[in-house]
Chains A and B, each alone.
Chain A
Amino acid sequence: MNNIYLPNLVTIEDIYEEAPDVRSFRLVFKDPKLRDTFEFKTGQFGLYSAFGLGESTFCIASSPTRKGYIQCTFRKSGRVTGGLAQLSIGDTMGFRGPYGNHFPVDEWKGKNIVFVAGGIGLPPVRSVIWNVLDRREDFGHITIVYGAKTVADLVYKEELKHWEARGDVTLVQTVDPGGQTADWKGKVGFVPTVLKEAAPKAENTVAVTCGPPIMIKFVLNALLELGFEEESVYTTLENRMKCGVGKCGRCNVGDIYVCKEGPVYTAAEIKRMYNDF
């Protein structure tokens, strides 16, 4: 029988410590056939199993331009993520997916892109960033505004260095007031404020944002103030999910099932939704 709840087995090929309690896994499918044939699109998510503890939902943080593996990034916060955090390189876990819709990156060719992320909201955006950077010539100016509570909480520190060093990306990093260290060279301030100061031009530009719900709300407002069209601003809603396939009933925002019709939405679509975030 076709069992939609049965995960595939994946091996942890590498582990990266990103921030306190935040780590990334590089995962490869145990089934060699699936390793070759597995495909996903930027913005899709999966359900990751720690056997004996259950499943958690995270986006796929790697880009579909990088084949042969997937990466996920998570914060150790509950039972399942606590269990996942105890796993080592070579260990086995479960993966179901990919599920949900995706960022329409192919439609953005020729446009500028502004990425705005906060804290652990960078992983879903990272998939889009690498998808775009891996075919850099297809896009215009690229700006990344990223902030976290403290310097330690910034994830993908090595990649931030890389993006900063690249001549073809404008990276603006910030930490919340009080979160800076003595040698911090980035900005100090909340992401929406720093975004307004950076003031990327809205013309022919697409914005992609993810972060805590409250940050997303203020970032959307800031982008509209900067002149962005609601149809050109994208975000991803990371609601709690159990099935991932439109059945279990907890990810809905009013009539919208995030797992099936999302998780990626434009600000225009968000505006039409019920106020249930």
Chain B
Amino acid sequence: MADKILKKADLGKLIESVTGKGGRFVAPTTDSRQIVFKKVKSAEEIATDYILARNSFKEFLFPQTEVVAEFTLGKDTVDMRGVEVHAPQTVIFGARPCEAASLKGMHALFTWDFIDEFYTKREDNTVVVTVGCTKADDACFCTTVNLSPASTEGADVYLREAGESYTVEAITDKGKKFVEAHAAVFGSGSVKADPLVMPEKIANIDLAKVSERLKDKTHYDDKVWPKLTRKCIGCGACTFVCPTCRCFDIVDEGTAFEGERRKNWDSCQYDTFTLHASGHNPREHQHQRWRNRFMCKFNFFPEKFSGKGCVGCGRCVRVCPVRLDITEVMEEFSK
């Protein structure tokens, strides 16, 4: 039950209340004619009519590029210094329930034995406010992966559209503290939430069957892989927009005298990703790289990290320049 409401007219006050305490407020906004998650300063910047931002909000927890160390090289000296993570208090506002469900797996990966504090310190300082969907498009398939616009997994606060207001439901302790910290902005009252729009479940997909078939290792060299994925051009766009993809590279940048070590987004779809120095490449062909991504989503990532490998947001479907639709491969593996 929603116990609080947030008037849309008060969004500006919420932004001020957050930024006034030194925090950053991230929301879907229009940039270069696209709806993207960005830091905003005023309510006017926030998009009102959108299905999903083009980018995932993962970049505010796991930036596309970040410095992890700096070094200075002298004639006979080397100085290597770790850097402190930049982790401002952050509110992600207007995320969709599907993408918030990616966070459990992300957390599990970045804390698996070795704790990546570049991720966890940002995570600690981030409040995720989702808004249940009142619109969907043909690419949305959250219901096919057992999520829905009503899912609250990964959300700290869950909102629903209710005319000129939102209903407000604090899900986690962090969410409760957030609502308390900005109590002046949240009102109470009884408003009727607008209906959620449920994307239709894709009838020919059986997620349990997909998972079961991927467990049977005989599929590995099946001709179905090159057949289904031959048109992939290996651009990696699907991996960059995906809220659960988190593979990265570590590179040095700078001069011969000083520079930085950076952690940069990378993609399992690139042929250099797994290329050995010897020239040997365990995933030499594009269909092998595609298979790896699909296996990661529906086989080993969920099993290893008990998180969702795919949240059905449909970003990869929308962004793919050759219309390689992951749900078609899911259908094939549901047979």
A interface residue numbers (CB < 8 A to B): 1-7, 9, 49, 51-56, 75, 77-78, 81, 92, 94, 212-213, 238-240, 242-243, 245-255, 257, 260, 274-277
Does chain A have a CB within 8 A of B80?
A: yes
Chain B, residue nearest A277 (CB): B282
Question: Cα distance A213–B254 when bound, in Å?
Answer: 35
The 4 closest A-B pairs by CB, nearest first: A249-B247, A255-B300, A3-B82, A245-B114
B interface residue numbers (CB < 8 A to A): 68-69, 71, 73, 77-78, 80, 82-85, 109-110, 112-118, 121, 217, 220-221, 246-252, 254-256, 259, 261, 263, 266, 268, 273-278, 280, 282-283, 288, 292, 295-296, 299-300, 303-304
* Least distance between B247 CB and chain A CB atoms (Å): 3
Q: Are B250 and A52 in contact (CB under 8 A)?
A: no
Q: Are B295 and A254 in contact (CB under 8 A)?
A: yes
Given A9-B80, A246-B114, A253-B282, check contact A1 B85 (CB 8 Å): yes
Given A52-B73, A246-B113, A249-B246, check contact A212 B80 (CB 8 Å): no
Given A52-B256, A246-B112, A248-B266, check contact A75 B283 (CB 8 Å): no
Question: Cα distance A253–B300 when bound, in Å?
Answer: 10
* Least distance between B265 CB and chain A CB atoms (Å): 11
Question: Cα distance A260–B304 when bound, in Å?
Answer: 12
Q: Are A260 and B112 in contact (CB under 8 A)?
A: yes
Can you report 18 A-B residue pairs in the complex whose CB atoms are below 8 A from each other?
Answer: A1-B85, A1-B117, A1-B121, A9-B80, A52-B254, A54-B251, A56-B277, A77-B277, A212-B280, A213-B280, A240-B273, A246-B113, A246-B114, A249-B247, A250-B247, A252-B296, A255-B299, A276-B283
A7, A9, A52, A245 pick with most chain B CB within 10 angstroms: A52
Question: Cα distance A7–B250 when bound, in Å?
Answer: 12
Secondary structure at the A interface, as helix, strand, loop or mixed, is: loop
Beyond known contacts A257-B304, A276-B283: 10 more, CB 8 A cutoff: A1-B82, A2-B115, A2-B117, A5-B69, A6-B68, A54-B250, A240-B274, A240-B277, A252-B296, A276-B282
B83 surroundings in chain A (CB, below 8 A): 3
Given A246-B114, A249-B247, check contact A1 B252 (CB 8 Å): no
A254 surroundings in chain B (CB, below 8 A): 217, 220, 295, 299-300
Question: Cα distance A238–B278 when bound, in Å?
Answer: 11
A75 surroundings in chain B (CB, below 8 A): 277
Q: Are B248 and A243 in contact (CB under 8 A)?
A: yes
Question: Cα distance A75–B280 when bound, in Å?
Answer: 14
B277 surroundings in chain A (CB, below 8 A): 56, 75, 77-78, 81, 240
Given A1-B117, A249-B246, A276-B288, check contact A53 B252 (CB 8 Å): yes
A213 surroundings in chain B (CB, below 8 A): 280, 282
Q: Are A9 and B78 in contact (CB under 8 A)?
A: yes
Chain B, residue nearest A2 (CB): B117
Question: Cα distance A33–B250 when bound, in Å?
Answer: 28
Question: Cα distance A83–B102 when bound, in Å?
Answer: 39
Question: Cα distance A213–B283 when bound, in Å?
Answer: 13
B118 surroundings in chain A (CB, below 8 A): 3, 5
Question: Cα distance A275–B261 when bound, in Å?
Answer: 34
Chain B, residue nearest A248 (CB): B248
Question: Cα distance A238–B276 when bound, in Å?
Answer: 9
Q: Are B274 and A248 in contact (CB under 8 A)?
A: no
Q: Are B78 and A77 in contact (CB under 8 A)?
A: no
Question: Cα distance A54–B110 when bound, in Å?
Answer: 21
Given A249-B268, A254-B300, check contact A52 B259 (CB 8 Å): yes
